[in-house]
Amino acid sequence: MKPLFAEFIGTALLILLGNGVVANVVLPKTKGSGSGWIVITFGWGMAVFVAVWCVGPISYAHINPAVTFGLWLAGRFSFWLAIGYVAAQMLGAMAGAALVFLFYRDHYAASDNPDAKLATFATSPAIRNFPNNLLSEVIGTTVLVFAVLLVADPSIKLVSAPETAPQVGEIGLGTLGALPVGLLVLAIGLSLGGTTGYAINPARDLGPRIAHHLLPVPGKRDSDWDYAWIPVAGPFIGAVVAVILDKLL
């Protein structure tokens, strides 16, 4: 249970800090209001850094169902352990989103922009074109998962929860090290995030979107369920592409 709890905590930290920087930038009357895209992408990179730094030694810090799925598809992770990881990631994402709402509650109340409020929970496209939006999420996630597969030790196959602390070269975002994976996500955000907001993580988008639907956010709009499948399907497809590329090397 310890690795599953670590995935819950790691994903909650990811969303608390990642969606927290979005709230700081897009909600009114915050110290960071209007500070822009560079602050958001840097904040998300540091959110990944902190999450991986904290739980990497315990769970390998997948903190992303697409990473877990890619490792399972590559034969490096057991199916039932993957199911547990994904459940923990989803619950952690919802918890992190709820904490962001509690933290910035006065600023949600001060905002009259329901789209900005939704943006602090879930992603949305700059131009709504579902085929292109899907392609954006596929490519961004391919870069992420491909990097993990390239660096992870191909001889290691995890079929049960780790009994000892992971070592360098084992399986997950922790494989890359906390700072390199934070920089990887920063690079993806700066270069590939402008079209959809780069979810590249089904839990990162779907968990907070569910939280937005359930929480008493004042003046909120609908949770844009028509778009919600894109940041879920795209990352899983990207993981498949990453595994295929890895097998070709």
What stretches of 60-112 show up as alpha helix (H) in DSSP? 65-73, 79-103, 105-110
SS3 158: strand
Give all domains of the chain, ordered by start, each with its CATH number: 2-248 (1.20.1080.10)
Characterise 6 by phi-psi region: left (phi > 0), alpha (psi -120 to 50), beta (else).
alpha
Predicted local distance difference test score (pLDDT) of residue 171: 66
What CA–CA distance (Å, rounded) separates 197 from 44?
A: 11
Cα 218 to its chain centre, rounded Å, is 25
Predicted local distance difference test score (pLDDT) of residue 54: 95
Instruction: For residue 60, give Cα distances in angstroms to 73, 76, 155, 169, 245.
Output: 17, 13, 16, 10, 22
Contacts of 200 (CB under 8 A, 6+ apart): 64, 66, 137, 140, 141, 144, 185, 188, 235, 238
SS3 77: strand
Please name the residue that has the structure tokens 């990207």: 238
Mean pLDDT by 10 residues, the chain (249 residues): 94 98 98 97 97 92 96 89 96 98 98 98 98 98 93 59 50 76 96 98 98 98 98 98 93
Predicted local distance difference test score (pLDDT) of residue 167: 45
